[in-house]
Structure 1
Amino acid sequence: MKALISIDYTNDFVADDGALTAGKPAQNLHAKILELTKQATEQQDFVVYAIDRHTIGDEYHPESRLFPAHNLAGTNGRQLFGALQAYYEKTADQANVYYMDKRHYSAFAGTDLDLRLRERKITEITLVGVCTDICVLHTAIDAYNLGYQINVPEAAVASFDAAGHAWALQHLKNTLGANIIEEND
């Protein structure tokens, strides 16, 4: 069994009016992320929505000093972007679909993600979402350290920092041994 981990593809990170939006580069991923999510769900792969969750006034969280408030619990900004939200709602009760809150960049930090993957005997993960050089990268680093095989479809990751995005793809490939899947692969 394989897993698709969809990272932070929410209104706050993707929509034009999002609190910490990656804008057009992230919006351009929508069709590919939706396609990969549908494919993984239909194949009965484990589909994980790893979504950043913050609360108003959390002065102890280090991101509160680095970024504007974003992905606040109970807000529209935390909803999945575009048709992905409706697709999630349609499939949420399936045993192979898991929506999880995360508090840190990595989907593994302080969560039960590793346990859920291992109990399903998953060794190969595909990462999609935003931001390539922040949450996708940190999730990949933890996945590498935990021994997972990592795939990253280039057409399904983006950042608000083009240079950071390009650097992260190279780092994922050359340092973490991730399989960077190009659109024509």
Structure 2
Amino acid sequence: MDKALLIIDYSYDFVADDGRLTCGKPGQAIQQAIACKFEVYLAEDNPVFIMMDLHDLNDMAHPESKLFPPHNIRGTEGRELYGAVKEVYDQHKDNPLVFWIDKRRYSSFAGTPLHQYLSERQIKIIELTGVCTDICVLHTAVDGYNLGYTILVDRDAVQSFSQEGHEFALSHFEHSLGMTITSQS
């Protein structure tokens, strides 16, 4: 166990055609890449962290309520993992290497036990997957960088609402944060 996979916000609301805040087809196109990584990490005895956005209906105090329509509402289908990633999760959710952590901010580190869990397992390398490249993945990357993690991003396992935002974030990862950007294709 020397690295960990983070699957960030790969939910029905963010990916499905009828999701409440969907990136649609671009987000759907990465499901096999994420599902494959999920399986590989577990096969290599490396942990997988599902980092899932959580909101309460009509929580007007949350800053996102002014920016986005209601999404990933507690107790709704919108918070379920999407497609092939959900299938892999359902097969392995009882595996002690699979963790589901709710988050209430863009970064997977903000207000969550993620850093503690990684530290306890002496993990120094994290790979980021999911959506949206230029929002939650980006904020997680910056916080991970500031905490001293080596960070990997596979461009085929992240996506966003716009191609411009996606490309900006990938460039920022590589040129401002020194991250390794890979591609399966």
TM-score (norm: length of structure 1): 0.97
* Unaligned ranges ≥5, structure 2: none
Q: How far has the Cα of 1:106 moved from its partner?
A: 0.2
Q: How far has the Cα of 1:169 moved from its partner?
A: 0.3
Amino acid corresponding to residue 13 of structure 2 in structure 1: D
- 1:149-160 matches, cutoff 5 A: 149-160=150-161
1:89 to 2:101 alignment: no
* Unaligned ranges ≥5, structure 1: none
Q: How far has the Cα of 1:86 moved from its partner?
A: 2.7
- 1:59-98 matches, cutoff 5 A: 59-98=60-99
CA contact (8 A) 2:32 2:85 kept: no
Identity of aligned residues (%): 49
3-state SS of paired residue (2:130): strand
CA contact (8 A) 2:27 2:160 kept: yes
Q: How far has the Cα of 1:64 moved from its partner?
A: 0.3
Amino acid corresponding to residue 53 of structure 2 in structure 1: D
Amino acid corresponding to residue 173 of structure 1 in structure 2: E
Amino acid corresponding to residue 53 of structure 1 in structure 2: L
3-state SS of paired residue (2:145): helix
Q: How far has the Cα of 1:91 moved from its partner?
A: 1.1
- 1:42-53 matches, cutoff 5 A: 42-53=43-54
TM-score (norm: length of structure 2): 0.97
CA contact (8 A) 2:128 2:153 kept: yes
Amino acid corresponding to residue 11 of structure 1 in structure 2: Y
3-state SS of paired residue (2:148): coil
- 1:154-173 matches, cutoff 5 A: 154-173=155-174
Could you list the per-position Cα deviations for residues 119-139 of structure 1 after superposition, in whole angstroms to 9, with x for gaps in the alignment?
Answer: 000000000000000000000
Q: How far has the Cα of 1:90 moved from its partner?
A: 1.9
Could you list the per-position Cα deviations for residues 34-86 of structure 1 after superposition, in whole angstroms to 9, with x for gaps in the alignment?
Answer: 10111111111110000000010111100000000000011111100012223
Q: How far has the Cα of 1:89 moved from its partner?
A: 2.1
Give the CA RMSD over aligned residues: 0.8
| Aligned residue-pair number | 184
2:6 corresponds to which residue? 5
Q: What is the alpha-carbon distance in structure 2 between the residues aligned to residue 91 and residue 124 of structure 1?
A: 22
Moved over 4 A (4+): none
Amino acid corresponding to residue 91 of structure 1 in structure 2: H
Q: What is the alpha-carbon distance in structure 2 between the residues aligned to residue 125 and residue 78 of structure 1?
A: 23
Q: Identify the range of structure 1 (85-94 vs 38-47) with the bigger mean alpha-carbon deviation.
A: 85-94
